[in-house]
Amino acid sequence: MKFCKAIPGILAIFLISFLMPGVNASAAGRLQSTDGNPVIVIDPGHGGENLGTQEGGIWDEKYMNMVTAQALYDELSLYDNVEVYLTRTDDRDVSFQERAAFAQSVNADFLFSIHYNASENHDLFGSEVWVPLSAPFNNYGYQIGCELLTDMQDRGLLVRGIKTRRGDRGEYYAIIRETVALDIPAAIIEHCHVDEDRDRGYCDSEEDLIQFGKNDATAIAKYFGLKSSVLNVDYSDYQLVDISDSAPIASTLRDETPPDVCRIEFSEADYDTGYLSFTVSAADYDSPLLYYTYSIDGGQTYSERKAWPGSDVLTGKYEDTFTLSLAVPSGTKPSVIVRAYNMFDPYTESNRYDSPEIFYYNETSESEEPEESGDNTPAGDENKSGDSDTGKDAANSASDASESVAVSGSAVAAEKQISFVTFLEICLVIVILLFIILLVSQGIAYHNRKKRRLQSRKDAGESRNQHR
Ligand SMILES: [Zn+2]
């Protein structure tokens, strides 16, 4: 069952149904009308001197975009009665105006700009689709965005949303601005974040980049109701999320206000093993919660971002309450704060919990890594939520849980890497010190030899004088 169309109503799951179209939807058709022979323009972002992000470390983004765009082109071309074009087929920069003008020249029904993402602080992860601000293109973008992102969600990526962004000149993103100005619907597909551990595994091989392109093609084929005799599929009766095209979809519009509530309540502490548990409760009445972070040092430092348990921004669902268990390093007196982030990034900080005691325990016991544990969705809690929805929700919760386990794993790896770097630094300092000592001792030895030679010459002279 598709999330966009999933039936709501699970206790303990917060629901913003009035903002989330499609939640109550039955089968529905495409808002955008075409003559049944759609013309689709695929735009591989960046190119030439314009490299895109280089934070992935393997390839420049322009190359990744091209591999995905080419795979999308190849796959979509296997459908009947569809015309597919690329805005560039080689490694050169093309201006936004040229890309849009090309779409117009072929009479495009839609332009899809293909991208990979990176964030300034390398802390964001997940997939998102950017769509136009105004109806009806906003609504077209929402319908196709649901198809694209549901697929990425099924593959385990966190969905960051179908969103709009306003800039000084209307649309913030130039490719959307220029294309929409020519009366052609457009969307930007940001597949995942190349600079974040939890996303990197989805985009670190050519096969991954090709897979994104193939999946995008299937989503686009569903959107346009295409069929393929080669692939033996027929999406002509495929039903899209049911929305109206009279006004932009509320959930795509930027929520400037932070979440309304974020509260933590102490539940238990195990001073023998160093575990500390809280009940975290949070809500945002405008947009779903997407991430959380926590601090155990009173807000001086925060953990990496974690996916908010049960967060599904396509339906607006998230757990409004969950249990957060933290592994506290021995010798610390934790002061805990949790931050709740909504899908547009504003966050709200919880109250602070100050531990009355210092955690002292035997660290050589079974807890391998006392620094952190991401046990944020204990099995008991999942059951408590009485989640009676399709198997998909259960799978989602499970993937959240395992994701947080993976997160601790990566934190451990990062820590090990840091300690290895520190080890290397210490080695370097020792080598430099040894070198300096060697130089100094050489200098002293030379100085001493010179002094002895002078002394012996002087002695010889003196003895000669004495002999005289
Ligand atoms: Zn890009």
Residues 303 and 325: beta-carbon distance below 8 Å? no
Give the tokens for residue 216. Answer: 């995008």
CATH architecture of 22-248: 3-Layer(aba) Sandwich (3.40)
Angle between helices 61-76 and 206-224 (to 10 degrees): 50
Q: What is the pLDDT of residue 412?
A: 35
Task: For the chain, give every domain's residue range.
Answer: 22-248, 261-414
Within 10 Å of residue 421's Cβ, how many Cβ atoms?
A: 10
How many Å lie between the centroid of ligand 1 and the Cα of residue 155? Answer: 22
What's the pLDDT at 459?
57
Structure confidence at residue 272 (pLDDT): 86
Distance 150 CA to ligand 1 centre (A): 21
What CATH superfamily classification does 261-414 receive?
Immunoglobulins (2.60.40.10)
Ligand 1 centroid to residue 214 C-alpha, Å: 19
User: What pLDDT, on the 0 to 100 scale, is given for residue 84?
Assistant: 98
Q: Ligand 1 centroid vs 54 CA: distance in angstroms?
A: 10
The pLDDT value given to residue 455: 64
Q: How far is the CA of 113 from the centre of ligand 1 (A)?
A: 9
- What is the Cα–Cα distance from 117 to 46, expressed in whole angstroms? 12
pLDDT of 375: 40
Write out residues in the chain with pLDDT < 50, as ranges.
1-19, 21-27, 365-417, 462-468
Q: What is the pLDDT of residue 457?
A: 58
Looking at residue 121, what is its pLDDT? Answer: 92
- Residues at Cβ < 5 Å from ligand 1 ion: 45, 52, 115
Determine the angle formed by the axes of helices 137-154 and 206-224, rounding to 10 degrees: 130
**Comparing 22-248 with 261-414, is the CATH topology the same?**
no
Q: What is the pTM assigned to this prediction?
A: 0.73
- Tell me the CA–centroid distance for residue 326 and ligand 1, in Å: 36
Pair of tokens at residue 131: 């769509």
d(CA 90, CA 46): 11
| pLDDT for residue 468 | 36
Alpha carbon of 61 to ligand 1 centroid (Å): 6
Separation of CA 115 and ligand 1 centre (Å): 4
